[in-house]
Amino acid sequence: MSIEFIPYGHVTTPEGFVAGAVCAGMYASGPKAGQPDLGILFSQRECASAGVLTTNLVRSAPVYVNEKRLPAGNLRGAVTNSGNANAPFGNAGIAEAEEMAALAARHAGVPPEQFAVCSTGVTGVVLPIDKVRAAIPGITLSREGGPDFARAIMTTDTRPKQAAVAVTEGGRLLFRVGGCCKGSGMIHPNMATMLAYMTADAAVEPGYLQRLTKKVADATFNMVTVDGDTSCSDTLLVFANGAAGGETIREVDPAASLLEEAFMAVATRLARELARDGEGARHLIAVNVSGAATLGEARQLARTVALSSLVKTAVAGNDPNWGRILVAAGRAGVRLDPAKASVSLQGVPLFRNGGVVPFDEDDVHGRMKADEVAIDIDLALGDGRATAWGCDLTTDYVHINADYRT
């Protein structure tokens, strides 16, 4: 069996999924004015669904709606707008979110409760539902509409983020997994600050799909950090419709490990792209931790180092300041013995077993000019391993967020 990325794959690459987008006029000005800002993703067949939502206690209206609908495990679609998060907070906005889902469901020809709803953009502003009412009838749903949907959900993103894989055996296609996401700022775990959608044309038992979704989110999207701010809108939605044929996959089946590997591959690609496209970023940072006492401690340490402002600014300046890395690791709240720890940067050992390793600073400085910078930390305490993805911190980040509304 093999799992291979499909060139130019996207969220509607799996069989039986369609999507489309239009401009509803959510942006009065700026680069997205006149661009698609309202999209629908839909399964043409009944399907299993699952999701993970933000843990932020201040939540957008769509999160409350999705929280009520996800347990049924039978969602068939999602409607999403950018430019407005529908987060006036409290009970405000829920009626608009429910109407938005109902409008999309009517357009797709299914009951309202089978649609999720997501909104992303400026908070504290009431959603202009009249614009949604006017625009949804103009959305054409097609198998080729995945890329349009991915562009419609963007806010400060500089490019759409999408991927798909094919799972084959002996040259025979078993199933495909696709996905797309948006996120550039307000990115930090719990669950991970973004909107993400994943699809599969395999048939999957709903309870297992929910457990798999949480497992995938913890290993990928929850290991992304840009700026330490979590959003009120974070949502990951997963749909599996069985259009590829085959038996329904349960957690105990041999095919479950293959399904998990495919979902992990797509989610990892998307998670890396979230960090790579962090607001103002010039470098993707991959923090690889090994030798931690537990998996949880490895993840905690990797996220702490990836989030450190001093580490992020050192990477921005191509500065091999390994001391910042080690000190950030030391405040992660996990077990760490400096006498056993080792740190490498771009594959070059800088610190080992409590002592400095002589290195050519100019050489490492040059290596850090690459688009991706790898930080490797070995604690030599156990078998815990994890990777977190982040980005450098530049002055562009300040300008993007200072000028976001004005």
CB environment 180-199: b (16+ within 10 A), e (fewer): bbbbbbbbbbebbbbbbbbb
Could you give the strand order of the β-sheet that contains 115-122, starting from the edge strand earlier in sequence?
A: 17-22, 38-43, 77-84, 115-122
Number of residues in the chain: 406
The count of structural domains within the chain is 2
Please give the DSSP secondary-structure letter assigned to residue 31: T
Angle at 393 between CA 60 and CA 310, to 5 degrees: 110
226, 281 in Cβ contact below 8 A?
yes
Q: How many Cβ atoms from other residues are within 10 Å of residue 203's Cβ? A: 20
256 and 358 co-located in one domain: no
Could you list the beta-strand ranges (E) of 14-149.
17-22, 38-43, 48-53, 77-84, 115-122
**Cα gap 263→276, rounded to integer Å:** 20
271 and 292 co-located in one domain: no
300 and 253 co-located in one domain: no
Q: Determine if the peptide bond prior to 191 is cis (ω within 30°).
A: yes
**What is the residue whose two structure tokens read 């006498």?**
339
Please identify, among 252, 275, 298, the residue that sits at the C-terminal boundary of a domain. Answer: 275
Tell me the pLDDT of the chain (406 aa) as tens digits: 899 999 999 999 999 999 999 999 999 888 888 999 999 999 999 999 999 999 888 889 999 999 999 999 999 999 999 999 999 877 889 999 999 999 999 999 999 999 999 999 888 888 999 999 999 999 999 999 999 999 999 988 889 999 999 999 998 999 999 999 998 655 555 544 489 999 999 999 999 999 999 999 999 999 998 766 677 888 999 999 999 999 999 999 999 999 999 999 999 999 999 888 877 778 999 999 999 999 999 999 999 999 999 999 999 999 999 999 999 999 999 999 999 999 999 999 999 998 999 999 999 999 999 999 999 999 999 999 999 999 988 776 666 566 655 5
**Cα gap 95→323, rounded to integer Å:** 52
**What is the residue whose two structure tokens read 């489309």?**
20
SS3 300: helix
**Cα gap 18→149, rounded to integer Å:** 10
- pLDDT at residue 44, rounded to an integer: 98
Domain that holds residue 386: 284-402
129 and 255 co-located in one domain: yes
Closest C-alpha among 276, 279, 278, 256 to residue 268: 276
**Cα gap 110→40, rounded to integer Å:** 13
73 and 175 co-located in one domain: yes
172 and 235 co-located in one domain: yes
SS3 81: strand
Closest C-alpha among 114, 100, 32 to residue 69: 114
77 and 205 co-located in one domain: yes
Global pTM value = 0.92
Give every CB contact of residue 29 below 8 A, 6+ residues apart in sequence. Answer: none
- pLDDT at residue 334, rounded to an integer: 97
- The structure tokens listed for 12 are 């509607």
Find the CATH number of the domain harbouring 259. 3.60.70.12
292 and 217 co-located in one domain: no
Q: How many Cβ atoms from other residues are within 10 Å of residue 109's Cβ? A: 9
- pLDDT at residue 225, rounded to an integer: 84
Rg (CA), the chain: 21
Find the CATH number of the domain harbouring 299. 3.10.20.340
Alpha-carbon separation of residue 47 from 74, 76, 145, 231, 304 (angstroms): 6, 6, 19, 28, 38
Please identify, among 223, 254, 275, the residue that sits at the C-terminal boundary of a domain. Answer: 275
| Phi, psi of 399, rounded to the nearest 5 degrees | -65, -40
129 and 260 co-located in one domain: yes
16 and 141 co-located in one domain: yes
Active site residues: 193
243 and 335 co-located in one domain: no
Please identify, among 275, 307, 326, the residue that sits at the C-terminal boundary of a domain. Answer: 275
26 and 99 co-located in one domain: yes
348's enclosing H/E stretch is strand 348-352
**Cα gap 395→354, rounded to integer Å:** 34
